Structures are given as C-alpha cells and as structure tokens.
Structure 1
Amino acid sequence: MISSAPPPPHQPPAASLGCPDCGDGLPPTGPARCPACRLPLSGPVAARLWQVEKGLDAVEKRRVTLLRLREELLAELRALRDLPDAPSPAPAWPQPVPRTGATGEVSGRSAQTALLVLGGVLVSIAALVFTVVSWGRMGVAGRAAVLFCLTAAALAAPLVLRWRRLFATAETFAGIGVALLLLDGFSLEYLGLGTSNVAGYWAGVTAVVSVGSTVYGWGLRIGVPVFAGYLLARLPLLLAVHAAGFGSLTGSAAAMAATVALDYAIGRLALGRLARPDRPLPKGVVNLYGAFGLAWALLAGAFALKVSLDSGLGLSPVEGDDRVGASLGAWLPLGLLALVALAVSRPDGFLGLGLTGRRIAAQAAGAAAVAAGGGTLAALLPGGWGAVGFAVPAVLLAVAGAARLRRRPLDGRVIPVGLLTVAGAVLLVTSAASLAQLFPGVVEPAAHWQAAWEGTRAVQGSQSTPAAALTALWLLVAAGVAVRLLGLRGSATAGAEAALSAVASFALALLPVAFGLSPVMAVGFVTALALVGGWFLPVRPALIAGVILSGTLALLWALADRPSTIVVLALAAGLAVALTVRGRPAPAVTAVLAVAALGGEAAAVAVTTGLERPDHLLAVLAVALATAPVAARLAARTDSAVPAAVEFAGYGMAALVLLLSADVPGRLCFELAVTGAAALGVGLRADRRRSAPAVGVALLIAASWLWLALADVHAPEAYSLSLAVAALVFGHLRRGRFAEEGLGSWPVYGPGLAVGLLPSLWALFLDGYWLRPLLLGVAALVVTVLGVRLRLQCPLVLGGGVLVLVAGHELAPTVVQVLGLLPRWVPLAAAGVLLLALGATYEQRLRDARRLHGALRRLG
C-alpha cells in the first residue's frame, strides 16, 4: 500500500482538528505551539501526530455512517416482524454443502483407484504363481500360448478402454501388461532361449522392456508404462557390469553412478525441452523423477563410500598397492556423483530445487570429493593414520570454501557454503575418531570404577597419547584458525571457536594425568576448572563447550572413588541450579544438567548406603517423577523454557530407568504402573490434558501386557482383540460426537484397526496354521469393502494392505490345499478380476454421473 507523503517538518496540524492535547481550537495560520497549553505543533513528531489525528477522524466518520446504516436496516426488519414468512428464493448459484466428520473422506475416484491397484496386484501375483508353480502341468506350446496371449490381451486392452474413456482402467491393464512382459522374459529363459550368462540376458530383457514400455506408454499417452520403463532403466547397466565380470562394489557403484549421470543428462535434454514458460512440467513428474534418481545416487554413493573407507582404513583384506588401487577405483563413481551434484546445485538446474535443496546437493558434492581423496591418502599412510588421511582433504575443502565466502554473506554462495559445511562435519568425525584413540589414557583414572563401586580396590594404570590422534586434533584446530583468520562471521566462526575451546579444555584436563598426580587431585583440578569457567568467564558458546568438557572429565575421573563422585555430582547440581536461577548461559540447558546431576546423585547415594540394584533405579525414578510437580510450580511462576526443560528431562530419566529395568520383569511392571499413574496425575494440568492421559494409559496397558507375558500367554489376539474392539467403539463414538469438526478416519479408526489386524498379520508369517490366514483374510476383505462403501481412507488403506499381504502369503493356496479343489493361482486371479471389475464399474458410474450432470446443466 502506497501512503501519502507526510507534511513538511514544520507544518502544524490542521486547525479544524484542534489541539490534540487540550482540545482547544487552533487559528488557521498554523501556530508553532498551542496558544492554550503550549504544546509544540511543529517538527516531524507533530507531523506524524497530525497523520494519526486525521486517521482517527476518518475512522470516527466511518463508524457514524455504519451505525446509521445499522439503525435503518434494523428498522426495516422490525417493520416485517409480524408479516408471514415468504418462500425463500432459489439461490442464483448452487450453495456448497458443508462437510462434516460424518461424510466420506475417500472420493469415488480414490476408491476406484484403490480397487484397480489392488486388482492389478492380485492378478500379477496370480500370474507369477501360475508361472512358477503350475508351469509344469502344461506343454511348451501351451505355456508360451497362455503367457503371450495374456500379454497381448493386456497390452491391447488399453486401446479399447481409452476409446470407451475408461482411462484409469486402461492404466491398470497397461501396468499388468508390463509385468507380464517380464514374465515372458522369464519363460523364454526357462525354455532355453536365453544365454548361459543370466545377468547379461536380463540386462538385455530389462533394456528392451524399458524402452518398449516407455515408447508404448508415450504413444498411447498412458503414464504407468512410462513410469515402469523409467524404473526398469535402473537395471540394464548394473546387470551388464555383472555380466562382464565386474560385479564388485566398485563396479556396481560405477554402473549406478553412470546411470544417475545419464538420467540427469537425458532428463535435462528431454524434460527440459518439454517444459515451456506457459506450461511447466507437472510438479509430481519432476518430484518423482528426482526422488528415484536420488535413491539410486544414494545407493551408488554408499557403495563407493564403503570401498573408499575399507581401502583407506584397512578394513578390506587387501594390502599395500592393492589398497591404493581399490581406493583409486572409487574415484570414478564418486567423481560422477560429485559432478551431478554440482550440476544440480546450480541455480539453472531444471529440477527447480530451492535454496535448501541446492545446498544439500553442494554438500553431497563435497562429501564425494572428500571420500575420494581421503580414501587414497589414507591408503598411502601407515596403519592408524586413516583419520588423518580423511582430515587433510577436509581441511583443504574448508579453506577453499571459506576463501570463497570471504566478505560475502553466507547465503550468497550455495556451493562454498555446502563445501564448508561438509568439511566441518568431516573434521568433527575424524576428531571424534582421534579422541577414541586418546580415550584409553584419558579414562585411565576411572578405568576400574566398577571395582570401586563393588567395594574392591581400583588398580592404577598408565596412559599414552598416539601421534596420529594428536595430529588429527591439530588439523581440526588448524581448520578452525583458518576459518577465523579469513574473517567469517556467523555459524562457521562459532563452530570453530567451540572446537578450539573444547580442544584447549581437553589439553588442560590432561595436565594432571601427564604430571602423574593422583586421581583425587586430578578430579579436584578439573572440577575447579569447570566451576571457575562456568561462574566467572563470559557467556560465549566456545567457553561453554570447554566448561561442559571439563565437567564431564571431572565426573569420569571421580567415578573411581565414591566420596569424590558424590561431591562432584553435588557441586555440579548446585552449579547448574545456580546458573539456571542466574539465567546464564542457557537456563534450559543448565536445568537439564541439574536434573541429570540430581539423578546421578540419588543413584550414588543409594549405592553407598548399601541398597540393591533395583532400589538404585527406584531412587532415580523418584527424582524423575519429582520433576513433574517442580515443573508445574515453575510454569506457574515463569513463562521461560526452564519448566519444560525440567519436565522433559525427568521424562527422559524415567525412560532410561524403565530401559535399565528390562532384565527384571517383575520390577519393570511395578515401575510401569507407577510411571503410568504419575502420567495420569500430570494429565490433570490444563496444558497436558491431551497427551499425558494417553501416555499414562499406554504405560498401564504395557504393565498389564507384561504380566500376561509373564503368565506365558503368547497368542497375539489375547493382547490385541479386546483393545482393538474398545478402540474402535471409542473411535466411532468420538467421530459421532465431534462430527462437526471434520475428524478424519485415521485418528478415529486407525489405532483400533492397526491393533486388530497387524499383530495377527505378524503371527501369520510365524506359523502355518490354516485358520488364522483364512479369518484374517476375510476380516481384511470386510474392512476393505466397508472402507470403499463408507468412503473412509483408513479402513480402505489398512484393509487393502493387509489383504494384499495375506494374498502374498498365499492365503488362497493354503485354503485350497486343505480343500484339494483348485490350483493355487485361481483364487488370487479371481479376486483380482473381481476387484478390476469393481474398479471399472466405479469408473463407468463416475463417467455416467459426469455426463448426466453436464446434460442437466445444459438444460438449465
């Protein structure tokens, strides 16, 4: 909105408005001050006040006009109060019917699609069973005739169906035809028409079917064959590499990376030319193309990365020059992937990625470059220096990215930001690997903490500092210093400073051990370092990292002595509480640390007083449950994040206690019941009434199920059916009660149907009893039909999915084998044909309804 320009700085408010302070009239000359109250009326502030006064005056005039109009309309309606009601005129345009929660949430088209997809899947399964199982009952001519006739019929059916405008059914039959083409290839191989090289044969078959289905679908303008051809195009090059004898991880990765590169090139040429400014490509097509290309690229990258890591870190059985050769072999797939990722990260990429997607692509390019160079360098270095080999290219990448970003905003260059991010991540990983080599010497004072807590005397050991680990740490420091010297601002500098501070704190913490001081004196030194840093130093992320590291080391070293542990935990809890009250540096974080320290203190005191292990966990659980009322009390006094941090830290501690009690089922039942009752108590809070009761009920149910398991009750229906019936009844009542809110079927019927169907489905694959698959299949079919009939998404999806899985388990063959009546593929084919017929009928009815609607509108 373009506003009018304000008056000149020295122009006073209009005299008609009067003085804004005392209300006295002003002379028309516009004085510099009010004659009555001496209020200044000149300058920019007075000009803005004049604009406000004018706006308020306009609002008041508009209000008076609306009030007058309101009185006139009320007077007209009052005059008609005693007259009889007149029939309401028909609306000029049909009014939409408001949708409530009781209406169907699955449209007729969606139900039709579900039926056609299920039918196509079942028919394909039936054809597969016929090919594999019933193949031997027919001669060679019969086999070929049946399969090729079915294939020809399935591929010819879309011509007739499209002429009758049954497009969805035509898509389904086209998909069945492509599946039958693959079965034809299997039959030809079985008849001996293929070559002895199975991989080469199938490379040719998939290539032919891919090209043929793409051309077929493109010619008939049917999407399913085109999509199937795109999927099958993933396989020819990979199979050809295996056929040529290069089926190792390196060869597979190279083939898959080459497929990705060809995909990008062909997609840029084909899809890029199809898109026009006035008619861009559908977003779904671009997303689907990019999603499967990304999946194949991730697989290729994972294979190549494994080769690079195995050869660089010495994880593969090859040695010497073979390691270097293997690492060099990974350069081809990693290089191809890096080039494709760099092309995708460019702003003119035809995939239309946003800024985040382009940054991720740039990060992938940097990761591929580090993996290639680091693997070769690590293979050249001696054993134990693998982390250094990957850290060196990461440092170079960090320096290059930081140099490109110098004196530029961080979001101005996508590729440098991605490279710098990947370099930082790799350096953190290599530093962590180096710290793992230093840990034996760092944790030596606490290496025998179990002996100390069991009442025996701990044994002192020695420490060492490997050169490779120290070198990797200094590389991290060098990268941080380089980034800082290049003058970057923002998250990169903060991360470098945090890394430098952590490394410096680690070096300081090693001083007592290096000088041979006793563990108690080392604990005192590091504890003093943490306390001084936390209380007196300024609040900066780098210093916070150093304080946290010092405190962690103090706790690790204090574990070798019970009194030291109790004292250190008490000091840590006191410092965390004081910092939380003081509001520095991050109250929510220090509140979580305070809860953790109090839980550890409870466990240490319980052990020292001679209690048994289950009682130790009960002491910690008591601290965890006590955080709920404390958090509620804090929430009533402040609106900061501290109450939520205290509360959720207690939840995490309670979950840890339950996890540690898993080996004592009886005590776990008690703890689950106590925790569930506490959760129900938390549900009394107004802000927890939606989630806490559900969690409490779930914990109590878990306690009851554990008791059932201890009573040797193994049938899943004993656990699921009663709960499923209750959930379905409750969901149905809830749907009727809150129908006006448009409540969907997933939150209403999803829990009950999932609990009722999925455990039985799992048990179906574990035993061979014929009654469970029969009953489960009937139940899934009923649920599916009800979902279609009521147009509810949840029953349709869950019932249909379970029905397909039961069919995959050969429910019909199992029942038929008991009865001894039919071949095992016949029931599957019959069910598929039935669903296809229903889907086609659905589409026919929808088309007739659209035609009738159009005719009625033309009559109107």
Structure 2
Amino acid sequence: MTHIPPPAEELRILDGELRQLDARRALLLTRRAWLIGVLHSAPVPPPPPPRRPETTAPSVQNVLLVLGGILLTVAAIAFTLVSWGHLGITGRAVVLAAVTLAALATPVALLRRGLRSTAESVAGLGLALTVLDAYALHEAALPGANGTAYAALASAVLAGVWAAYGQGLGALLGRPERAAARLPLRLPLPAALVAVQFPLLLWAIAAGAGPHTLTGALLTTAAFDTVVALRVSVRSVRLVAAVGAYGMGGWGVLAAGRLSFEATGPSAAARAAALLAFAAVIALGTAWRAPRVDLAVGTAVTGGLLLVAGLGGILRVSLPADWTVVGYLVCAVALLTVVRGPLPEPVRLGLAWASGSVQALAVVSALPPVAVALLGPAGWAGRIWSGAPSDIRAAVTAGTPWPPDAATAPLVLAVVAGVSVWALRTTQWRPQAMTGALVLGWATALVLPATLELPYVVGLFALGLTAATAVAVAAYARRAPTAYTATALALITSVSLSFLSLTSRPATLGVLAALTALFAVAAVKVRPASVWASTSLAGATALACAAGAAAGWAPAHTALLVLVVPCGAALLAARLDEPGTTTAVEVTGSVAGLVAVGLAVTDPPLLALVLALCGVIAAGTAVRADRRSVGYAATALFVLATWVRLGSWGVGAPEAYTLPVTVPALLVGVVRRRRDPLASSWTAYGPGLAATLVPSLLTAWGDAHWLRPLLLGAAALLVTLLGARHRLRAPLLLGGAVLALDALHELAPYLVQLAGVLPRWLPPALAGLVLLAVGATYEQRIRDARRVREVLGRMY
C-alpha cells in the first residue's frame, strides 16, 4: 500500500528535490562555460591552403611548343647528316624545299587562327631549316668552296631572308600597319640581327686580313648594331642589337687598344688610333642619341677615353719613354677644349669626366717620386751628421733607388694643377679646385729639386722656400679649407726638411734656426696662431738640442740649454691674450721641459738642478691669477729636485726627504686656514704632518738606537700640545697617536721581559678584573666617552 505523506511534508520534499536539481544545473553550466573558454583560447589550426597549379597554361603551352620545335629541328639535322646520301639530287632538292616552305608557310595559317605561340615555334623550325638548307647546299653543290667565305655569304643571305620573312608576314596577313608597329612574330628579326654579326668578320678572316682589318670589321658590325638599337622601336630587336653592339664593340676596342699598345712606329700607331677614333665616334654617337642621361654620360666617357688612348698612342711612339704620361695628359687636356663646344650637356659632362680620369691617372703615376721626396729623408735619422751628399736627390733617397721614368713628374703635376684652376674657374667647384691645385703645386715644388738633381744646399733652400710659400698662402687665403691645407703642407714640408738637414751640423743648425724664425713670424701674422707658436717652440727645442750636440756637450748639460725654451714659453704665455694660443704655448713649453728632464736623467746632480729650474718656471707661471693651480706642480718639482739631490749625496734618512714636503704643505695649510676659517684641520695640516710623522714612525720601529725615537717623540709631543692649544683635531690626534706608538715601541722590550717573569694565570686574572671594573662603572665610562667626543667635536 502506497504511503502518501501529508501536503506540508510533500511540499517540503518537492522543494528539496528542486534545490538539488538547481545545484546540479548550476554545476553543469559552470562546467560548460569552462569548456567553451578552453576551446576559444586554444589555437585553431588554419585550414590547408588550396592547391594551386605550379605553372600557368600559357607557360605549359610555350614549353611544349619549344620542345616540339627542338625535336623537329634535331630530327631535321639528323636527316640532313645521316639520310641525305640515300636520295638523289632531285629528291634532296624536293625534300628540302618542301619541308622548308611548309615550315615557313605554316605560321601564316596559324596566325590567322590566333595561334601565335604555335606559329612562333613553327617559324623557329623554319629558320633552323634554312640554316640546314645552306649547309646542305654547300655539301652537295659547292663542296670545293672556301668554308669561311661561304659561311660569310650564307650568314648575310640568311639575315636578309629572315628579315624579309619577318617584315613580309604582316603584308601577307593583310595588316601592314600592324607589321610596322608590332611584328606578327617576334623571332625572325632578332634572328636576322644575330646572323648579321658574322658576315664582315668571316669575310675578313676568309680574305686573310690582318689584325687592323679584323678589328675594323668588328667595329663596323658594332656601329650597325648601334644604329639599329637607337632607331628601331621593337624591344626584342633593340635588345639583341644592344648586346651585339656591346659585345662586338668591346671586342673591337680591346683589339684596337692592344694594337695601339704594341705599336712600335707612327704608322702602326696611327692605324690603331684610327680604329680607336672610329670606336669613339660610335660611343659619342650613342651618347648624342641616347634616351637616358646616365647612358649618355657613360658612353660619352667611353668615347673620350678612346680618343685620348688613340691620340696618346701616336705621341707615345713619337716621344721618349719618360714623356709617355705627358703625351696622354696633353690629349686629355685637349679634350677639354671640345667640352666647350656646342654639345649636349650629357656629352659635355662625359667628356669632362673622361679628361679628369686621365688627369687623375697621370697624377697617380707621379706619386712615387713625391713619396720618396717626402719620406726618404727620414732615413737620415739613423746616421746623423754622416756627411752631406753631392746633390739633393742623393740626400732625398738616403740610399733608396729613385723611381724610374720620373723625369716628367713635376711637369705632370704642374699641368694638372694649372688645368684644374683653368677648367673650374667659373664653376661651383672652384674652391675645391684651388685647394687641389695648391696640393699639386706643393708636390711639384717638393719633387722638382730632386728631379733636377740640384746641389744639396740649393735643394735645401728650395724646400725652405716651399715651406715659406705655404705659410704665405695660409696667411692670405680667403677660404678656410685652403688656409688649413696650406698650414698642413707647411708643417709637412718643415718635418721633411728637418730630416733632410741631418746630413751635417751646419745644415741642421741653419735649417732649424730658419724654420724656428719662420714659424715665429707666422705666429704673429697668420691664424691660427696656436699652431705656428707651438711649431716655433718645437723648432727651438730641436735647435737647442742640436746646438748642444754640435758644441760637444753631454746630454745633461744640453738640458740646461733646452730649458731656455720653457722659460721663454712661460714669459710669452704671460703676454698673450688669446686663450687657445696661451694654452698651446704652455703645453709646448711643458713638453720642452720634459725633454730637458729626459736629457739630464743620467746625471743626478744636474737632474736636480733641472728639476729645480723647472719648478722656478712653474712657480713664476703660478703667479698669474688664472694659473694658481700650477703652484702644485711647482711644489712637486721642488720636492723632486730635493729628493734627487739628497739621493745623489747618499742620504738615507727619511726625514731628509719628507721634511721638504711637510714644511711647504704646512705653510699652504696656514694660508688656507687664514683665507677660509671653516676649512678642516685635516685638509689643511693632515697631509703635511702625515708626510713626515708616518715614515719616521715606521723607521723608528725598526731602529735599534735611541736618538730617532727620542726626537720623534719630542716632535709628536709638540704637535699634540699645539693641537690641544689651538683646538685642532688633526694635530692632536696624529701627534697623540704617533707619541703613543713611539712610547709603546720604547716600552716593548720591558713588557716582553715582564711577560716572561709573571705567572701565566696573571693575565687572565687582570683581564677579568678589568672587565669587572668596566662593568661596574659602565655608565660613568659612557658619560666620559660622550664628553671626549664632544670635546673633539668642538675642535677643527
């Protein structure tokens, strides 16, 4: 029997079931939301890309047609070479004519149906068959004819036939206007142009022509290709013509250049020059009609170089070997006169670049003697005053060989310098041209004395005049680049001239004196004065060293003479107003002082004197308000001088070395405290006191006698009392510490003896008593320590 609960109980049961269902549903919805989030966050792999064909239908068609044409051509060749003999003359003629005419006629029908690609393939087969026809004709009908001459005739006939075939297709199709604008077939005309490349060359070879005729054939073919490339509008034809023009023309130019280079007489050189001139006309004609500016400029440069090469070749065989570069240079300069004629701007620019290139090569050929003239004198540094040579070339080379064929190097440099100024006088490049002409003129003056083998003294005078001229140019130049270049050239010349003067004592002294005076005058007249002043002082330093060596002085005694330079530099710097020049003069003077110190380092007494004199110069400089910091250097120099003097006397006491440091340091500290009452005593007196007390204390600890510890203790006591009297922290603590350590040193032997007498239990007992006493009076000790700290804190 089914039990039915009361309504209230049943309602309670239903509510419980519904609550369970709601909780389960909420759990399931939460799980569902989490699963959706996971699916959304996970990367979804992209669908695979659709497969695309690797080639297009027209490409497949072209490949198939080309392969078909190739196979048919191979078959025709095989038939001609293998099966030809099985047929008679009539059969041969019928087969060849029928196959060739069919191959050439089929493209007409294919073009009318719009099958252009197929027509191209069949036409290619037909053109190949015409070549086989020509070969078959020679083998069958003309077996005894010269092969090269027949090939020349056949290539000319085939070129005409192919060109007529390509042009006639348009008329056959009834569209002559299309034949003129866009050829029905792209292959016949380019093929005809390829065939045109061979007739002239093959005819010349068949006729046994010489190299000049062969080169003329190449250049004539290149000229025809150039005309076609410039006048024909069909792109494929222009491309083939351009390739032919560059190929045949380049081959011809190389051959003509070799003929010009190998020519040994005016006649051969003139014929080679005619060929090069022909090539130049082709290049210049191309530049005149070129559609692009860059192509016009490039071909004009080529044409200009070919003209120079041809005319220069004639001059080369007519002049001595030394004048070869001059001959080509004259032709390059003459080319500039053509530039000023009524020519298109790209052509003028290309000819100018060609002329400039030849001039640059001429300058490069003149650089070896310039390098020898500039760097060769450095070889005298290893054999100073070994004797002056007879002429300036022997002095310049210093045993190295003079470059061959360098007789015209000065002329080349001078001509290029003059042409640079003349050609660019009205252009925006005039400043650069003036600077380049200045460098070239300087190089001319540098190499000219050695080239002429002038006497040694005359050569020195010429180089000195070159340096003076560079200084004058730097003085009167209106533009900064030219002035800076002239300054650099003057300095370079002076260095080379200084090395060149090392051959003898009089030359060295005279050159160094002249350069010193020259740069001293330049420092007054020319800007920047800092460069000239420093150079003049450097020359004076070298002159002082040379004068001392010439007088037979030892290096240490020469150092006293060198000190005149830093002394003069200090006096000069005090009178200058320009900060840059003042600094340069002082730095150069300091370097001269270091040179003097280096010379005197082998003689300690003189070294001490030199250091002291350097200190005097530094102290004099420190008198100036803006050079107070030099006083530290003066003090250091004085101290070093004192130490060197004491070392030369054999003094070993450290106080002798430290007291000269302590006394000036304490004086400086007194002055500083007077100027700045808030300055700490550690800063004012600490370094000076430590300089003597610390080394003396270290020495006293190792001294077995009683005098040094006694004197050190007395001095430390005095310093401690002074510190306490004036309430100065540094003297009080330093003096007290040294006094305590010194006393400990004196008591150490007795403490050691006492430690040996006392029982071993006594030290631990005493330590325990001390700890008890300190613990019992801990607060009193704290108050005493604070009181001591306050007292020290009130000190300076």
**TM bracket, shorter-chain basis:** 0.3 to 0.5
Q: Which has the larger radius of gyration?
A: 2
TM score, norm. by length of structure 1: 0.40
TM score, norm. by length of structure 2: 0.42
